Structure 1
Amino acid sequence: MSDVPTPFHIGVRVYYEDTDATGVVYHANYLRYFERARTEWLEAQGLGHQSLADAYGIVFTLADLSIRFRRPARLDDRLSVSAAVAERTRARVVFEQEITRDGALLIQGQFTVACVKVADFRPCRLPEALIKESR
């Protein structure tokens, strides 16, 4: 068995609204695609943002990000967006993410999300359901 976690994937289609005047995805929209993949990853764990807020009084906030643009995505492209947990501590999760088209790497990103209390946005522990041994 590999020590590298299997990435979670979602499909995304590039719509006209996602592009600039040249038909290329506007750079800020890649952040939306990455966020969708992390949200769907969370749902696949049996949790959701609203259920975490309701049950535990917590939310996730983006604490840090790094993106490397390699190739553009264009109007009507079918993309695959991945999310893999690279590191997990008691109060944060670091995701390694990629956007590909037909297997070709377009964008790479690393995103750190912190667990915070809804009431005061102070850091707090991840729920037990999300605390697993890091590989």
Structure 2
Amino acid sequence: MHRFKLRVYYEDTDLAGIVYYANYLKFIERGRSEWVRSLGVDQVRLRQEAGIVFAVRRVEADYLRPAVFDDVLSVETRLIALGGSRIELGQNVLRGDICLFAAKVTLVCLSGTGRAVRLPADIRALLEAAGI
């Protein structure tokens, strides 16, 4: 499991002073980007050299408790399943040990034309090494 820490800024909150619901999607996006980077995948180079990008296909989200300004949060990312062109991740946003937001995210490997393509063997090997 990969862990990414972040702090809630004033701009992340709504009129009620809690994190605006859509910002959790930004938080988990940052967590996914850092997870992929930690595995040694350079997404910019992957796009430039192989014409491949990862795109979100589906998100199932549960908002469990609110986060507020100045909270220090952790985004946990773990691999759930790996298909031919599909990657399923579990992601949680926590304040300490308390889960505030839980999501299941499905990514798809896409070509430059937007068509699903198989994960390259080297990328698949890195993801498999991360464990399911």
Relative to the length of structure 2, the TM-score reads 0.93
Report the Cα distance in structure 1 between the residues aligned to 2:6 and 2:90, rounded to whole angstroms.
Answer: 18
Report the Cα distance in structure 2 between the residues aligned to 1:128 and 1:43, rounded to whole angstroms.
Answer: 17
Q: Using the TM superposition, name which of 65-74 and 125-134 deviates more.
A: 125-134
Equivalent residue letter for 1:123 = A
Deviations 1:14-51 (A, max 9, x none): 00000001210000000000000111111111112211
Q: Which residue, 103, 106, 119 being the options, matches 2:100?
A: 106
More helix, by proportion = 2
Question: Segments of 4+ in structure 1 off by > 2 A?
Answer: 132-135
In percent, how many aligned pairs have the same letter?
35
Q: Which residue, 114, 117, 124 being the options, matches 1:121?
A: 114
Aligned alpha-carbon RMSD (Å): 1.1
Deviations 1:44-92 (A, max 9, x none): 1111221110121101111011000110010000000011010001101
Report the Cα distance in structure 1 between the residues aligned to 2:50 and 2:78, rounded to whole angstroms.
Answer: 24
Would you say how many aligned residue pairs link Structure 1 and Structure 2? Answer: 128
Relative to the length of structure 1, the TM-score reads 0.91
In structure 1, list runs of 5 or more residues that go unmatched: 1-6
